[in-house]
Structures are given as C-alpha cells and as structure tokens.
Chain A
C-alpha cells in the first residue's frame, strides 16, 4: 500500500505546531497502524529527520496509552484502540490525517503526545475505597449478586485512554469519571464513601477544564471498551442525591 500521511507536528508544549505531509510506501495490510508509523519513523531517522512522537506501550489494547485522532475519529474508523487498528482498514492511495487528542485538559507535549494527568487527578480525588492493606474481611464475607458484579466489571474495564474526551464535542470527561463512580457505587465496598466520592470527583473533573455533557453519545460510541452511557446517568444520580443529602456544606 501507498499512503499519504498528514501528521500534526509540534516541537513542544509552547510551539505553535502544524501539519506535515509524509508519503509512505510498501505498507502491508497486516501491519498495525502503529507499525505503519514505526516504518515512517525508521525512514525519517535514516534521513536525519526527527521521528514522529506518539504514545504507545502495550500494543494489545489494554494499557490505554495510545491516543491518535485518525481521520476525524479517536482511534480511527473502528471502535478499538489505535494499536489494535490494522492497515487493512484503509485503502491504497488514501490520505490519512493524524492529530493529537484535543482538549484544554490534555495539553500537547510533543507531536501527537498529550498529557493526560488530569485523569489521574480525578481518580486521586476519590476513585478508590479507603481501605489500608491488611485488616480486611474475608473475600467471601459479603456476597455480591453476579449481575451487579458484572455491571461493576463492565464499568471497571475503562482503560483511561481519553478517547471519550477526544470524541466529545465538549471535551467532556463524564464517561471516564462516571465509569469509576459507577463501579464503586455498585459494589457494597464502595457504597460507604459514595456521596463524598461523587462530589469530590466531579469537582475535580470540573476544575480540570473538561466540558459538560450534551448526551450526544459520541463518547460511548467511540470507547474502545464499550463503556456505556448508563454510567453517566448513574453518576448523575449519585451526584444529585449526594449534594442534597451529604454532610458536606
């Protein structure tokens, strides 16, 4: 395959940045999208040009590090992570535009690499059960209905890649935040702190500069793990019932 790549290049956070166009040739349909970029980078390096920087690590769709906005969609045309996207999803001669995630809360570090620490800070605000190591009850002490455990699991599969933010027209982090709030609100272990958790995580999410939710559903439709919009509804319930009944003034 022969392709034309239009890639966002930006030297560092303060650089203005712009698109550069690169032709690539000899791309096999069996290659993953990132392997195609590896090929480009090897060529660039050999020519003495700075390779394109992008985030990636596990390359098996679970670490959530890869984050490319390809032809107008986060992670490209399929509902998967960029690393699991293969070149057979593209056609010979195609021009592919690659951009970084765009959000105020995800500033560009270099080229296609963005800083997603805002997600970590949202979790730090309350995305946990406050138990220390040791001194916990036996794992089977509290039975949890299978359907509830499964629902919690579905929410917990979020990989924190940020595709939801990238897809949302408001760069909203509701799907990410709600996935964690949902998981812990469903489980008896997480119910103890549910009110404070909802209040704190949402306050943090807002202070990071993410937008609000218009319920367009783009986040869930683009989420490589299929996190559902029901989580956002549950988060809203958690939040509204928390603010009217919690002790936090």
Chain B
C-alpha cells in the first residue's frame, strides 16, 4: 500500500493558494444536494459544521455531550498562536512554520504546517468578528504574550480561558446555522461505526445515549472531529468522556492510524492524590516562569516528607536539589515540556518524590514572592493558585506547590492527506483526531490554532474538490452496508451486556492506564513495551470475559457507554505499543531510553525514521501492518535540540 499525501507541487509559499485554485468547485445550486456528517463539536467540529452549512451543504452534527458547547476544547487555557506580527518582534508565517516543524522534532509535513501558519492569521480575524473577547491593550488593540518558550509574542488569549472563548465563538456560529435549518444537531448521540458503500464513507451508525436506539445516518462525506485519545492512560487532563471510539471504529473499517505513540505529557499538573483519582488538572505552564522546581537531595529526607514528619520549609537550601536548574543551566525551569516531565519522573523514580504517593515534585514560589512580593505573584497567577488551593486544600503562597506530569495531548491520530481526507475516500479527520501538523510534539497554543484552521479554512475548500466529483444523488440508506453496520454495533453492545462478569469497566480502564503510563508514558524501553503488549493482550481477554456492565441498551446507561469506549482504548493501547516499539529513536513526546545522547537528550534517527508510521487494521487480533509515508524536508534543516 502506498500513501499519497497529495501535497501540491511548487514552492512552499504557493502550495495552498495554487491548490485552492486547482480544487474543483461545487456549483452553489448543487451544494444543497450534498449531505455532510460532522462527528464532534469541539473547535474543529463546530467550526467545520458552521462553515460548511454557511456554504450551503446540509450538515448533521453529532456530539455525545448534552450540548455542543461542552466539547473538551473548552478547557484549553493558554492561548492561540497566529503569525500576525502585531508586536513587531520579528514574527512571520515562515517563523511560525519553522517553530512548529522544529518543535514537532521534524516528524510533520512541511506543506501542512506551512498552510497552518498561513491561515492562522485568518482565525484571529474570524474570531474577533464573532465577538470573541480576546485580551486587549489599553489602546484597544489585541494583546499578545509569549508562550511555551517561543521567542516572539504571537499568542492571543482570553485570560486563562482561551479555549472556552474560541469554542463558544464556534458554537455560536454553529447555533446560527441550526437556527437557519442548515445544521441538524444530535446531542447525546455517539458514533458507533462508519458505513462504507463501494469503498467510500457514506454514513455512520449512532447510538442515542438516552434511548439506546441504534440508528443510521447517510451522507456524501463524513468528518471525524472527535479529539484525542489521551484517556487511554485512564488518568489524563482530558474530559471524562473524551474517547477514541469514532476514530478507532473508522480505523477498523480501513482508515490508517498514524503515529499513535506520539503523546504529549504536560509537566505542570496537580499530582494524583490517591486511587480514587478520576482525572488530572492542568495548570498553566506559565507557572514555570517564576516557580522553581525542586526535590530533596536525599531519599531519606523525601521519605520524611512523605510521612509528614517534616515540612518543606524545614529543608535547608543545601539539602534541596533544583534539578532542572542544575542540569540545564541556560534554560533552567523553562526547558520544554517533555524535558521537564521526564526529569520529574527520574527524580521520583529515584525515590525523591515529595507527596504521599511519591509522585510529585515541588514548584516553589518562595523566592519569587521574596523578590517581587506576594501581591505581584497574586496578580500574575492568582486564579491558578486559587484553583490549586481548591483542589488540594493547601495554600501555595505559604507552602510550595506540588506538580507532576500528566498526559495532555495526542499528536497521533487518523492518517490524512493534504486535504485532511483519510485513505478512505469521503472520510475526513480534523483537529486532534488527525495526526497532521504537530509531528512528535505540539507547541503550546497550537492545538486551538490547528482545530480552527482545519474547520474554518481548510476543509471547506478541500471537501468541495471531493464532492464535486461525487454525484449529488441522495445516499441510499437501504443499502445493505447500513443494515450490516447496525447489526454489528448491536451485536457488540449485546456481547458487552451479556458477559455479566465480576469487574467494573473502570477496573479495566485503570489497569490499562497503569500499563500504558508505566511502559508507554514519559520514557519507554523495548523490553518494557514488549511486556506491556503481553499484559494488554491478557487484559483484553479478561475484559471480554469478565467485565460487568449492568442495565440494558434501551436506556441512559453510562456503564455501557464507558464499556464501549474502554474496549476500543484497549485495542488502541496495543497499537500504541507496537508503534513505540517500531520507532527505534527518540523524538518529541516519544522517548526511548535506548536512544539518547550522552546528556540524556532525545536522539533522533532521521535516516531511518523520518517517516509517518501509519498502521493498517488487518482483522481482529491480527498484527497491524505498517505503512510508511516518508517525510521530505526541503525548507528546513534538521537539527538536534539542546537546552543546556
């Protein structure tokens, strides 16, 4: 199988313009004859559904939440990048492109990333026109900040709630189209399978989460905007309902899954407090601008801390190990996310972790408060400190914060070409659900940018090219493919309900999460991955023979919803391990301990691994087949990162 990325020819700067011109157009009168399904209503889904409806297509939008406004894009805090260069500090489209490619450790496509940087400027214009209240300067113009170690201030933000404001903007555009009758909304409806007719995506099977009704929806194209799969780790900063089911079921229908092992770990999360923990909360990375990261120098001191025999303040300066400042004198506490995360893991693995579970390091503001005063620190981080206090019950002005890394974002996803179409004609993947723009590591404030770029400015053009070549005849729902897909979905649900085993769904999810976190998390080894693969295979077997799902299908049944999702997470987990095992190099979020520089940095292997690893489903319990899409770099020079 050969993957055609359909990257247009010509100079980087002209690719997208030329491509738009060369794309076929659908006659305005014909647009109303085409139906498009959009699954997911986050930034990518809501923006795509609204934009396509504005163009005249008939859109059906689906979300599992009770309202499209609840999609997890809403939780993004930091901001959104755009190469506006409003600050006159040397930003440009090329610089944003370059930073994104480099930040992704050279594992993404140049053409896609360049287009992302190009349309980034339109996103800000669009959002402002919608009434998104971005932060402003006293002169009334938009404010920017530097984010995630970027050397220019290109991040637009709305206090610590940028994702919320952008999502509500897209949701308002979507709502307008619902009122216009161009979008039909299906809240509390979950996609259970993809329907293919003659090799093309032509519809989906859904389950109504209130009534349990399994239904079909036909369309000329299907867009999956279903977000990432961080919940494979059980504990992550994702929402409880975030899941991989739509993407995974499409994968099992033939869509390739690319770079599944590329997951991003965020260093500044509130640590796990016990076995009851259900999710993790992220705190803005900006805390590392003033906080100093440390653990006790010795295991003995750390043990005393864990047993609460001493307080952090009792530990003398000489007995503290500011390990990031020690190892990375020039970047210090501001090293990139993956480096900060990995080092926290190392010190905790040594037994120097500081909370009761031993999995936390201090983020100390004592010196910053002494230097700038408590009021200054409060003005800067007050809301974060309040949030921390609310969750942990500790006052971070008096005692150091505790942080630990947590899974935050998944760069991998369904393989898509330049048009954001998967290898299944008519099936598109947008936003975090695809793999396309962030390579092995995503830069801060770029997730929002990508979701909206895909939905507002890319897919409305590229889908036209496909639909123009598709006859506008209504898709026939009586085609046997629909009935077959329904039967399969119903069969799967009945199977889950009839196992009547002894262990809850969460029990399996937690075990899966532990395996993934320990062996396929911040640092991976071939040996550990092989063990993990065995463990997951066993877990899968156990799940399908011993899971306990109560109730029935024909009702609101949250256990059944979870069971469906966890079943898919288990299979995805195995694929992530395959992918991590295959990639014998370290890059971005993927760190294989066997492949590191003498200083302990990620060691890429550009000669052998400068490719996208796309995986093809070969049948239940079969090993998946690897299909490579080589990556070519014509505009940037590949370099090794260094933060010494």
Contact = CB atoms under 8 A, between A and B. Distances in A.
Q: Do chains A and B touch in the complex (CB under 8 A)?
A: yes
Contacts of A195: none
B68 interface: yes
Contacts of A160: 67, 69-70
A117 B175 CA distance: 12
B67 A153 contact: no
Contacts of B138: 146
A129 B172 contact: yes
B67 A117 contact: yes
Nearest to B129: A136
Nearest to B556: A110
Given A46-B504, A64-B70, A146-B140, A128 B133 contact: no
A64 B69 contact: yes
A152 interface: yes
Name the interface size band of chain B.
35 or more
A117 B563 CA distance: 26
Interface in A72-95: 80, 84, 86, 88
A63 interface: yes
B393 A30 contact: yes
B176 A133 contact: no
Contacts of B559: 45, 51
A149 B135 contact: yes
A42 B131 contact: no
Nearest to B270: A60
Interface string A117-135: 1011001110111111110
B67 A143 contact: no
Interface centre among B507, B551, B556 (most CB of A within 10 A): B556
Interface stretch (A165-173, A183-191, A213-221, A235-243): A183-191
B161 A128 contact: no
B74 A63 contact: yes
Nearest to B134: A149
Nearest to B460: A133
Given A50-B551, A127-B172, A109 B556 contact: yes
Given A31-B276, A62-B75, A139 B128 contact: yes
A228 interface: no
Given A51-B550, A189-B128, A189-B130, A120 B68 contact: yes
Interface string A188-221: 0110000000000000000000000000000000
B538 interface: no
A145 B143 CA distance: 12
Contacts of A187: 131, 133
A135 to B, nearest CB: 9
A98 to B, nearest CB: 16
B171 interface: yes
B471 interface: no
Nearest to A84: B390
Nearest to A51: B559
Nearest to B124: A139
B122 to A, nearest CB: 7
B281 to A, nearest CB: 5
Contacts, number: 220
B29 interface: no
B69 A190 contact: no
A229 interface: no
Nearest to A189: B131
Nearest to A138: B125
B618 interface: no
Contact of A156 (B74, B128, B133): B133
A6 to B, nearest CB: 21
Contact of A86 (B168, B282, B393, B507): B393
A139 B558 contact: no
A188 B390 CA distance: 37
Contacts of B84: 139
A35 B274 CA distance: 11
Contacts of A117: 66-67, 187
Contacts of A130: 176
A248 interface: no
Contact of B86 (A38, A115, A140, A145): A140
A101 to B, nearest CB: 12
B168 A45 contact: no
B168 A156 contact: yes
B8 to A, nearest CB: 20
B273 interface: yes
Given A63-B75, A133-B456, A144-B136, A32 B506 contact: no
Given A115-B66, A140-B141, A35 B558 contact: no
A58 B175 CA distance: 22
Contacts of B142: 139-140
B50 A133 contact: yes
B210 A109 contact: yes
Interface in A39-79: 39, 42, 45-46, 48-51, 53, 55-65
Contact of A12 (B172, B392, B556): B556
B161 A53 contact: no
Given A110-B555, A133-B54, A184-B131, A153 B278 contact: no
A144 B456 CA distance: 24
A34 interface: yes
A152 B158 CA distance: 11
Given A53-B556, A86-B390, A129-B131, A28 B70 contact: no
A59 B276 contact: no
A116 interface: yes
Nearest to B139: A143
Interface in B586-612: none
B276 A28 contact: yes
A82 to B, nearest CB: 13
Given A45-B550, A139-B124, A145-B136, 15 more contacts: A28-B273, A28-B276, A32-B278, A34-B278, A38-B276, A38-B506, A49-B550, A50-B550, A57-B240, A60-B282, A62-B161, A124-B178, A130-B176, A140-B141, A187-B131
The 6 lowest CB-CB distance pairs between A and B, nearest first, are A143-B140, A128-B172, A136-B129, A153-B133, A139-B128, A133-B51
